[in-house]
């Protein structure tokens, strides 16, 4: 593998979560992953959220207006759709994530559904477009960052408009003053720096919906939209690291291994761990999740004898989705939930 200067520019500005932070139920602010397509924008001092398009009553709401509505808090695990991209062969050029594009936040705000009902959505509306203040060029097209949800998903789903993270005001890099948070979905859907919600009477064909974020096996197929997070388990790499290689060093004896697991499709029902490169698997102990779309903690005790190992872990969800041993290659490098592998030396 060789990462280009362009990719390094993205890696240097977009933050991953160091995997030892899997220890925390809630990811501390500053450790949650960040994928900022364009720039963190400047927000006008007279910012308001506008709701328009196929509605009978247009809304224009200040943050104080939103704060006067019933507030919800939800603990949500979020993962970038491109997590794992840098492990794909042949190489896919874009933000080069390994496994760190994750985080869990407690998001506070209002539900999207009741707000849309306030605007009296017209009968012909079928999709809801969320538009951010961040602008730039992607695939040759100048655009504001925007993504849509089906009206059904927006009305009855669990999407929030959030102005709080972990009990504090939303930081600029997470979308202040207001962002969308769609529990269970990959992060591209959770539009940051939200300025406009538009009801459409037709499917949204913007770049980030119709071109990007589609699972295509070849360049010329239309592909399927990327939506909900596939199941994944990740472990806190045990022991101590080598600075440069990140190889782990563990003393012999019982070694407490812990991690988190999630799926955006259905609850995780099992996590298994292997210390022999996938030949045999042991069941980890899975703890209850603090919220429907939050990761679950898991633990396993490894009886570590001197030698060289590759630890692996894998999750399965209630809908029967399992992590594959190898990545499923696709043009955009999305949804790579292949099992994590951690190289460990046990020193006698």
Residues that bind a second copy (CB under 8 A): 1-13, 15-16, 18-21, 23-24, 28-32, 34, 36-40, 42, 86, 93-94, 96-98, 100, 135-139, 142, 171-174, 237, 240-246, 249
Which residue, 4 or 152, is less far from a second copy as judged by CB? 4
Q: Which is nearer to a second copy, 199 or 226 (CB)?
A: 226
**Whole-number minimum distance, CB 123 to a second copy, in Å?**
37
Q: How far is the CB of 4 from a second copy (least distance, A)?
A: 7
Residue 65 phi, psi dihedral angles, 5° rounding: -55, -45
Q: Please give the Cα distance from 17 to 27 (Å, whole number).
A: 8
In terms of CB distance, is 11 or 69 closer to a second copy? 11
- Measured in whole angstroms, the distance separating CA 153 from the mean position of its chain's CA atoms is 18
Residues 6+ apart with CB under 8 A from 318: 266, 267, 268, 269
Which residues, in sequence order, are bridge partners of residue 77? 104
C-alpha to C-alpha distance for 200 and 334, rounded to whole angstroms: 27
If DSSP codes are grouped into helix, strand and coil, which group holds residue 65?
Answer: helix
Enter the tokens of residue 297.
Answer: 């903690």
Query: Which 3 state secondary structure label does DSSP give 292?
Result: coil
Pair 250, 295: CB distance under 8 Å: no
Q: How far is the CB of 74 from a second copy (least distance, A)?
A: 20
Identify the DSSP state of 67.
H
Comparison of 38 and 215: residue with beta carbon closer to a second copy: 38
Measured CA to CA in angstroms, residue 341 lies from 152, 233, 273, 305, 314 at distances of 39, 11, 10, 18, 10
Which residues is 312 bridged to in the sheet? 274, 341
Q: What H or E segment, with its residue span, contains residue 286? A: strand 285-286
CB of 140 to a second copy, least distance (A): 9
**Nearest approach, Cβ of residue 125 and a second copy (Å):** 30
Q: How far is the CB of 252 from a second copy (least distance, A)?
A: 15
Nearest alpha-carbon partner for 162 in 282, 44, 74: 74
Nearer of residues 9 and 60 to a second copy, judged by Cβ:
9
Structure tokens at 55: 């509605």
Q: Which of 105, 107, 101 is nearest to 14 (CA)?
A: 101
Shortest reach from residue 343's CB to a second copy, in Å: 11
Min CB(122)–a second copy separation in Å: 33
Nearer to a second copy, 9 or 150 (CB): 9
Comparison of 1 and 279: residue with beta carbon closer to a second copy: 1
Minimal distance, residue 27 CB to a second copy, in Å: 10
Closer to a second copy by Cβ: residue 44 or 243: 243
* Beta carbon nearer to a second copy, 60 or 93: 93
Give the pair of three-digit tokens for residue 304: 């570590």
Backbone angles phi, psi at 189, to 5 degrees: -80, -25
């Amino acid at each position: 593998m060789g990462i280009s200067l362009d990719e390094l520019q993205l890696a240097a500005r977009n933050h991953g979560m160091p995997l030892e932070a899997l220890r925390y139920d809630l990811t501390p602010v500053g450790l949650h992953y960040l994928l900022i397509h364009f720039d963190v924008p400047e927000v006008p001092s007279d910012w308001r959220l506008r709701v328009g398009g196929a509605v009978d009553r247009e809304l224009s709401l200040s943050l104080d207006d939103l704060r006067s509505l019933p507030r919800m808090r939800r603990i949500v695990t979020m993962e970038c759709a491109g997590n794992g991209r840098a492990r794909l062969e042949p190489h896919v050029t874009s933000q080069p994530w390994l496994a760190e594009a994750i985080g869990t936040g407690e998001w506070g705000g209002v539900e999207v559904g009741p707000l849309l009902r306030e605007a009296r959505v017209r009968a012909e509306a079928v999709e809801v477009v969320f538009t951010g203040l961040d602008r730039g060029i992607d695939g040759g097209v100048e655009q504001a960052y925007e993504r849509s949800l089906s009206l059904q998903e927006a009305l009855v789903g669990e999407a929030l408009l959030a102005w709080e993270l972990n009990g504090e005001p939303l930081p600029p890099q997470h979308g202040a003053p207001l962002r969308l948070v769609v529990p269970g979905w990959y992060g591209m859907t959770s539009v940051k720096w939200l300025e406009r919600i538009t009801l459409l009477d037709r499917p949204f064909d913007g770049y980030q919906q119709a071109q990007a974020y589609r699972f295509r096996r070849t360049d010329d197929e239309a592909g399927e939209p990327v939506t909900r997070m596939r199941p994944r388990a990740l472990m806190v790499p045990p022991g101590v690291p080598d600075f440069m290689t990140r190889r782990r060093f563990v003393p012999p004896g019982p070694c407490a291994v812990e991690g988190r697991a999630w799926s955006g499709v259905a609850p995780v029902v099992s996590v298994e761990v292997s210390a022999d490169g996938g030949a045999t698997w042991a069941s980890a102990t899975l703890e209850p999740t603090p919220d429907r779309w939050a990761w679950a903690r898991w633990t396993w005790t490894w009886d570590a004898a001197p030698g060289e190992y590759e630890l692996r872990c894998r999750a399965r969800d209630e809908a029967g989705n399992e992590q594959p041993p190898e990545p499923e290659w696709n043009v955009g490098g999305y949804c790579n939930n292949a099992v994590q592998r951690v190289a460990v030396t046990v020193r006698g």
